[in-house]
């Protein structure tokens, strides 16, 4: 996330971007084949999918304030769901949670077919879990999702903005 002058607001990833990029690379591979180096779309996609799920913890300074934190994988392996953030410093303030608009079960189904063989069962289960999650997290009358949610589907009010428990900016993208 960047300011208009190009300085970083937050250098940590928003996992939905990686989800879209990995899927775009797989589509490119199937459409145009694979070249060499960065044009080996399949290799780049599989590498990205691997680190999204299996990356080991990385500790260090982030952002201009050089805040020290530890980053973990973009997916919570126990819940088989995408995280709001891999930043464990945020977990200590807000708990490990998710953003309903980051759940892309159709992508996970493709990853179960085309992704790293060792993780295909995980991605197939993640697709099912995400579809079930939509039913849990959306309001029973309006069908609207909150911006952020706990892994059990209950709305999540972030420490910096209690409004994240409501249908707002991120939630507009929820399928």
pLDDT for residue 1 is more than 90: no
- Does a structural domain hold residue 8? no
- Using 50, 70 and 90 to split pLDDT, how confident is the model at 175? confident
- Does a structural domain hold residue 2? no
- Using 50, 70 and 90 to split pLDDT, how confident is the model at 153? very high
What is the rounded average pLDDT of the residues 115-144? 97
CATH number at residue 40: 1.50.10.10
- Does a structural domain hold residue 47? yes
State residue 64's pLDDT score. Answer: 67
**What is the span of the domain harbouring residue 105?**
13-171
- Does a structural domain hold residue 5? no
- Does a structural domain hold residue 7? no
- Does a structural domain hold residue 6? no
Under 8 Å between Cβ of 106 and 157: no
Predicted model pTM:
0.91
Tens-place pLDDT, residues 36-92:
999 999 999 999 999 999 999 999 887 767 878 899 999 999 999 999 999 998 898
pLDDT for residue 12 is more than 90: no
Number of domains in the chain: 1
Q: Cα(123)–Cα(107) distance, rounded to whole angstroms?
A: 9
């Amino acid at each position: 996330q960047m300011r208009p002058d190009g300085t970083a607001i937050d250098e940590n990833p928003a996992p939905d971007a990686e989800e879209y990029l990995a899927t775009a690379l797989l589509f490119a591979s199937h459409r145009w084949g694979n070249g060499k180096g960065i044009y080996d779309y399949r290799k780049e996609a599989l590498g990205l999918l691997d680190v999204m799920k299996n990356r080991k913890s990385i500790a260090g300074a982030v952002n201009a304030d050089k805040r020290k934190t530890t980053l973990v994988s973009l997916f919570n392996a126990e819940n088989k769901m995408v995280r709001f953030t891999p930043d464990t410093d945020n977990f200590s303030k807000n708990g490990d949670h998710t953003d309903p608009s980051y759940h892309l079960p159709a992508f996970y189904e493709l990853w179960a077919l085309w992704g790293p063989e060792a993780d295909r069962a995980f991605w197939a289960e993640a697709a099912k879990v995400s579809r079930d999650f939509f039913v849990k997290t959306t309001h029973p009358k309006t069908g609207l999702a909150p911006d952020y949610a706990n892994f059990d589907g209950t709305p999540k009010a972030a420490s910096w903005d209690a409004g994240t428990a409501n249908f707002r900016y991120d939630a507009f993208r929820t399928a």
